[in-house]
Structures are given as structure tokens and as C-alpha cells.
Amino acid sequence: MKQIWFSVCLLTGSLLYSNIAPAQQTASGALLQQMSSASRSLSYELAYISISKQGIESLRYRHAVIDKLPLGQLLHMDGPRREVLQRGGGISYFEPGLEPFTLTGDHIVDALPAIVYADFDRLAKYYDFISAGSTRISDRPCEVIRVVARDGSRYSYIVWMDVDTKLPLRVDLLDRDGETLEQYRVISFVVGADVQNVMQGLIKANLPPLLSLPAADNVKLSWSTGWLPAGVDEVARNRRKLPNVSVPVESRLYSDGLFSFSVNVSPAGSGAGQQYYRQGRRTIQTEVRNGNEITIVGELPPATAKRIADSISFKVSP
């Protein structure tokens, strides 16, 4: 009798999980999408700290939309003044010792964690969105959601989202052992018309000219990757010569919409060999095979970078 009840409980539990888990995934995904929409549409100012292996930075980010024109300002609060401004589709950079310049883009990279701008409908095919309850950040009630790759080949995120505004108040990037690699944590924030008034002057500000970047060539490469994490696609490729390097380097850039990395191949020089280095979220994995030096650079755990490097195959010349 006990065995029968045990079997019934297992069956019932599995049926309940199969119904609850997709519902939780959908609800958490909807909340993450609301976070992305709020970050792009609201007028707000965030004072926050960014904690990584390199240290702690204090920053201020302002965002507003005026007459459908997105405006943004990212200011580093310590040391020499470093500022990034957004007006529409132009992102202008002001760095000490460099001529100011403008690039095209739809948001300021690194103003908010990359996950804020992700396409969650796409990520839902390869990542689990797991509700982790609620808590308080900066004296505000927050929903907590974990974002984890199903195949375990990438880093994961924990997001603390303000219940009322849906703005991200804390985001942790974790490695596969659960160690925190980076943390974004809001100290204080303001939402509303006051921020719009502050940003109004950016509409007519004199910004540096747009840099024209060379068009990417559709080059044919003699190698390919045999294995990639689920959902990863090639987004660019090129063949170029680097300063002080006589032979060209062939590269493919890959992304899953959340993390990106490049695979680089060049003829191996003397003394080249297998090397591995990781600093925070970025890994560099180098190995030599068949006279070629293969280097993986990007936002990957070392074991994943190694597996990609080992999977690369070269076409044999006829």
C-alpha cells in the first residue's frame, strides 16, 4: 500500500511540476520583459556602484524620452571626468586624453547590465527564468529572478527588480560555481518629470561627429566551429592585420543575445602554446593545432571556451 501511495505521489508531483514550471517561466519572462521596457521608456536617474574583480566604481545614469527621442547620460563619479551621452541613435564618448567621438547605437553599453536589453522571447528557448521570491533593495520591495542557461555552458544572472517601476535595482553575474563575478547595485534613484527637465538641454547640445566605420567584408574562412552552446549564432566575421603583426587574423564573432565571444585563428608563431586566462567575466583560451593558433576571447566559462577551441576544424586544401 505504501508503495502504491509513493508512486501516486511521484506521478502527481511530476504532473503538477509540468504545469507549474512553464507558468513560472512565462510569468518571470514577462517580468523581465517589463524591466527591459521600463528601462527604455521611463525617465529616471540611478546612482549605483559597479563591483567587479577590478574594483568598485561609482556611477550615475540618467535616462529620458522626450518627444519620442531617447536621451541618456552615463557619468563616472570618481577620478577624471568620463562621460557617455546618448541622443537618439548616436552614442557620444568623452574620455580624458582622447578626441570625443560618436558611434551609432540604441543604448549606452555598460550603463545598465547587458541583460536589461536582452530579447527575452529568444532567451526563453535556451534559458530558465526562475522566480526566487522577493526582498528589499535601497528600501524598495523587489522581485528576484534567476536567469540560468539550461545546458550549463554559460554564466547566470540574478536580477532584483523594483516592484513598482520594474527598474533593475541589483544585478549579479555568477559563474558556474555560484561565485559573483560582477555586481550592479543601485544606491538611490529618482523617477519622473524632474529627470526630463534635467535632460532637456541634451536635445540641442553640440555633440562630436559620427565616426564612419569600414564596411564588413563577407570573407570566406577555411575553418569552422564544430560545437557551440545552444542558441549561439555567428553575427560577424572578418580577416584583418593587427599592428606589429605580419600575418592576418581571421575572426568570427558569436552571440546568444546575452553573452558574446570571438574565435580568432592565425598562423602559430614560435613559442606559441596552450594558455588560459580569466579576468572577471572574460576568458582568453589559446591553443595551437596544425600550425594554427586558436584564441577564444569573450564572456564564457573557461571549460566552455576550451570545448569550443577543441571543436574547431580546418578544411584541407585540394
Residue 44, class by beta-carbon neighbours within 10 Å (0-12 exposed, 13-18 middle, 19+ buried)?
buried
CA distance 207 to 212: 15
Say whether pLDDT at 142 is over 80: yes
Say whether pLDDT at 13 is over 50: no
Identify the CATH number of the domain defined by range 27-204: 2.50.20.10
Indicate the pTM of the whole model: 0.88
Q: 51-97: per-residue pLDDT in tens?
A: 998 899 999 999 999 999 999 999 999 999 999 999 999 999 999 99
Say whether pLDDT at 145 is over 90: yes
CB 185 within 8 A of CB 173: no
Domain regions of the chain by residue span? 27-204, 224-313
Say whether pLDDT at 315 is over 70: yes
C-alpha cell of 52?
567587479
Residue 2, class by beta-carbon neighbours within 10 Å (0-12 exposed, 13-18 middle, 19+ buried)?
exposed
Percent of the chain with pLDDT over 90: 77
> CA 118, 124, 126: angle at the middle one, nearest 5?
100
Q: How confident is the model at residue 215 (pLDDT cuts 50, 70, 90)?
A: low
> CA 257, 260, 263: angle at the middle one, nearest 5?
135
Class of CATH domain 224-313? alpha beta
Name 255's bridge partners: 233, 260
Long-range contacts of 212-216 (CB under 8 A, 24+ apart): 213/103
Would the CATH topology of 27-204 be identical to that of 224-313? no
Q: For residue 76, what pLDDT is reported? A: 97
**Beta-carbon contacts of residue 267 (< 8 Å; ≥ 6 apart):** 247, 291, 292, 293
Q: How confident is the model at residue 7 (pLDDT cuts 50, 70, 90)?
A: very low
Q: How confident is the model at residue 26 (pLDDT cuts 50, 70, 90)?
A: confident
Q: What is the mean pLDDT of the chain?
A: 89
